[in-house]
A and B are shown apart, each in its own frame.
Chain A
Amino acid sequence: MRRVAITGAGTINALGHDVASTLAAMREGRCGIGPLDIRDVDRLSVQIGAQVKGYDEAAHFNRQQIALCDRFTQFALLSAREAVAQAGLTFDEALGLRSGAILGTSGGGLNTQDENYRAVYEEGKNRVHPFIVPRLMNNAATSHVSMEWGLRGPSFTVSTACASSNHAMGLAFQMIRAGGADVMLTGGSEAMLCFGGIKAWEGLRVMSRDACRPFSANRNGMVQGEGAAVFVFEEWEHARARGADILAEVAGFAMSADAADIVMPQAAGAERAITGALADAGMAPHEVGYINAHGTGTAANDKTECAAVSHVFGAHADRLMLSSTKSMHGHLIGGTGAVELLACIMALRDGVIAPTIGYEEPDPECALDVVPNTAREAQVSVALTNAFAFGGLNAVLALRRA
């Protein structure tokens, strides 16, 4: 069976504008969450988020590109540029035909929608810019990535709320393994930190107004983030033949649906995705050293996720490490699994486990080793990354040290 290597990684998120600065922040347990700097923030009851700060689009894109690319597309392109540069790939005619892009997003060009609804409804304008549709469409980021490198193979966008990135990366993995492509750019992107994007989440009453404290007994909700991460997934022998530095192996993937509730997660569905990913990778549960948790910091997710992990791993659940990096970079919704994959690569490659920061009080319903507040050095050969979306759609990836 064809194997899949990760040969490049790129990101921009609240912790950093590239992989090195993001991993440094995770090692330090630095928090990227702070006061939101957006229009009409005074009318929001939730006024914090993990925003990408110090970002100047004109430093990276020309006027024509900016006219066509919403913030979520810009984040995806910048991440993809870093990943492709690290992989050292040149997409010539032949490789371009054997390569594609599968990216996740939930909101797509939400800033574009927000600004233009405001223009027509609030300001009463009757004319909008001609590029609104190509800017806001959920597949815009995927299409721009395919165009920038001439990727002419399987390319599409996945939108499954908080599991979008994991579903996207899982499908990219399967695409290469099944022979449909040799190289895939995959990951996810989100730029939802605008008035409408936060106002909608406020309505659900699951947001924290002060901090994201996953697994802590005093947790009081999730905090939104923004940004992207994109990876180069490459067929193993293709990567080996050209002497590429392999960051990790994507070894297994599984997805499941709870088929139960539109917002409340079910442990059984999460368990099926975790056990499925292990089986797909041909791994025994005791091999798993680290799990990057979905860990949203909501009451419901964290206890359900811990119950699922405890049930799948039995006694080994107390020996593995499980952390939620959302405590630092926030919940990037459709981009979150991609940024979290970086923590898995850091665990496997550098032997550093990113912490769950903001952890203050043990919760008997989350009684696992959540790597509280401080990063830890540990040798790990297998890592999992969980994503459990609203709507009960679950996606888990299994990675092995290269």
Chain B
Amino acid sequence: MTIRDRVIEIIAQQAMLDAADVRDEATLADLGIDSLGLVESIFAIEEAFDVSVPFNANEPDAGDFDISSVAAIIRAVEGLVAGNGAAPA
């Protein structure tokens, strides 16, 4: 499974949608994912790819991890995996 497919699967599961209905340009708000859902999705991404996502719910737009759309999240995860941003043991 590609990174893209896995991220979409995680988001779809959180949004309770079919993966086919998660469009690239959609925002998390479009998909009905609230702040708790976002934090849970990020945890799922960290677990799936063994990376550490720099995300603080107090400043969701700060940092390098772009969550503005599904496509942006996929790119950000690809970047983390390529950079081998391994989670602390």
Contact = CB atoms under 8 A, between A and B. Distances in A.
Interface of A: 43, 45, 203-208, 219-221, 262-264, 298-300
B35 interface: yes
B36 A208 contact: no
Interface string B55-89: 11111001000000000000000000000000011
Nearest to B42: A205
Most chain B beta-carbon contacts within 10 A, residue among A205, A263, A300 = A205
Contacts of A43: 88-89
Nearest to A302: B58
11 contacts: A45-B88, A204-B39, A205-B42, A205-B57, A206-B57, A206-B58, A207-B56, A220-B56, A220-B59, A262-B36, A299-B57
A interface majority secondary structure: loop
Contacts of A263: 35-36
B interface majority secondary structure: loop
A214 to B, nearest CB: 12
B43 A203 contact: yes
Contact of A204 (B57, B62, B88): B57
A206 B60 CA distance: 10
Contacts of A221: 56-58
A206 B56 CA distance: 6
Contacts of B59: 220, 299
Contacts of B55: 205
A299 B89 contact: no
Contacts, number: 37
A216 to B, nearest CB: 11
Query: Chain B: interface residue count, which band?
Result: 10 to 19
Interface in B6-48: 35-36, 39, 42-43
Contacts of A299: 57-59
Given A204-B39, A205-B39, A219 B88 contact: no
B52 to A, nearest CB: 8
A215 to B, nearest CB: 13
A219 B58 contact: yes
B39 A264 contact: no
A298 B35 contact: no
B89 A205 contact: no
B36 A298 contact: no
Given A205-B57, A221-B56, 11 more contacts: A45-B52, A45-B88, A203-B39, A204-B39, A221-B58, A263-B36, A264-B35, A298-B58, A299-B57, A299-B58, A299-B59
A221 B57 CA distance: 8
A208 B58 CA distance: 9
Most chain A beta-carbon contacts within 10 A, residue among B57, B58, B59, B62 = B58
Contacts of A300: 58
A203 B52 CA distance: 12
B19 to A, nearest CB: 25
B5 to A, nearest CB: 25
A278 B62 CA distance: 39
A220 B89 CA distance: 25
